[in-house]
Chains A and B, each alone.
Chain A
Amino acid sequence: MHDLYIFITGPLAWAAFILFIGGSLYRLLAMLILVNRKERFIFSYMSLRYGLRSILHWITPFATVNMRRHPVLTVVTFLFHICLIVTPIFLLSHVILWDESWNLSWWSLPDGLADFMTIIVIAGAIFFLIRRIVSPEVQFVTSASDYIILAIVAAPFVTGFLAYHQWFAYEFFMVLHILTGEMMLVAIPFTRLSHMIYSPFTRAYMGSEFGGVRHAKDW
Chain B
Amino acid sequence: MGEPAEINEIKDKGLEIGAERLTEDKIEKTINSVLKGETGARLKAYVDTCIHCGLCSEACHYYLSRDNDPHFSPVGKVKQTIWEMLKKKGKVSPEFIKKASEIASTECNLCRRCAMYCPFGIDIAYMMLIVRRICHMLGVTPLYIQDTAHSHSVTMNQMWVKGDEWPDTLQWQEEEAQAEIPTLRIPLEKEGADVMYSVIGPEPKFQAQLIYQAAVIMNVAGIDWTMPASSGWDNSDMAMYTGDNEIMGRVKRAHFETAARLKVKKIVMGECGHAFRSVYDVGNRWLGWRIPPVEVVHAIEFYHDILKEGRIKISKKFETPVTLHDPCNIVRGRGLHEMSRYVTREMCEELIEMHPNREHNYCCCAGGGVINCGPPYKNKRIMSNRVKAEQLFAAKAKGAKVLIAPCHNCHSGLEDINHHYGLGLEIKFLMDILYEVMDKPE
* A positions within 8 Å CB-CB of B: 31-32, 34-35, 37-39, 41-42, 44-45, 54, 58, 64-66, 69-70, 73, 135-143, 146, 192, 194-195, 198-199, 201-203, 205-207, 210, 213-219
Contact = CB atoms under 8 A, between A and B. Distances in A.
A157 B103 CA distance: 41
Interface stretch (B66-74, B155-163, B167-175, B193-201): B66-74
A215 B335 contact: yes
Given A31-B44, A137-B70, A138-B54, A199 B332 contact: no
Interface string B56-92: 0111000100001011010110010000000000000
B179 interface: no
Nearest to B335: A215
12 contacts: A39-B42, A66-B58, A66-B116, A141-B73, A192-B49, A198-B49, A199-B120, A202-B120, A206-B123, A216-B331, A216-B332, A216-B359
A70 B59 CA distance: 13
Contact of B281 (A34, A136, A213): A213
B50 A192 contact: yes
A41 to B, nearest CB: 7
B49 to A, nearest CB: 4
Interface of B: 39-42, 44-46, 48-55, 57-59, 63, 68, 70-71, 73, 75-76, 79, 115-117, 119-123, 281, 285, 290-291, 331-335, 337, 359-360
A215 B58 CA distance: 23
Given A35-B40, A192-B49, A198-B45, 7 more contacts: A31-B44, A31-B45, A54-B121, A141-B52, A194-B48, A214-B333, A218-B359
Centre residue among B49, B71, B73, B335 by max chain A CB count within 10 A: B49
A70 B51 CA distance: 17
A211 B79 CA distance: 28
Nearest to A196: B49
A202 B45 contact: yes
Contacts of A136: 68, 70
Contacts of B51: 192, 195
A218 B115 contact: yes
Grouping DSSP codes into helix (H, G, I), strand (E, B) and loop, the A interface class, with mixed when no group exceeds half, is helix
B281 A214 contact: yes
8 smallest beta-carbon distances between A and B, as pairs: A206-B121, A215-B335, A38-B40, A140-B70, A34-B41, A138-B54, A137-B54, A137-B57
B335 A202 contact: no
Contacts of A213: 281, 291
Contacts of B55: 66, 70, 73
Given A38-B41, A66-B55, A205 B121 contact: yes
Nearest to A138: B54
A41 B44 contact: no
Nearest to A190: B48
Contact of A137 (B42, B76, B285, B290): B76
Contact of A199 (B39, B49, B59, B70): B49
A216 B335 contact: yes
Nearest to A211: B335
Contacts of A41: 285, 290
A126 to B, nearest CB: 16
Contacts of A195: 48-49, 51, 120
Contact of A138 (B52, B291, B337): B52
A180 B331 CA distance: 48
Contacts of B119: 58, 66, 199, 203
A93 B139 CA distance: 62
Nearest to A203: B121
A52 B70 CA distance: 32
Centre residue among A69, A141, A216 by max chain B CB count within 10 A: A141
Nearest to B117: A66
B116 A217 contact: yes
Contacts of B75: 137, 141
Contacts of B73: 137, 140-141
A192 B121 CA distance: 15
B48 A192 contact: yes
B120 A137 contact: no
Given A138-B52, A192-B48, A202 B121 contact: yes
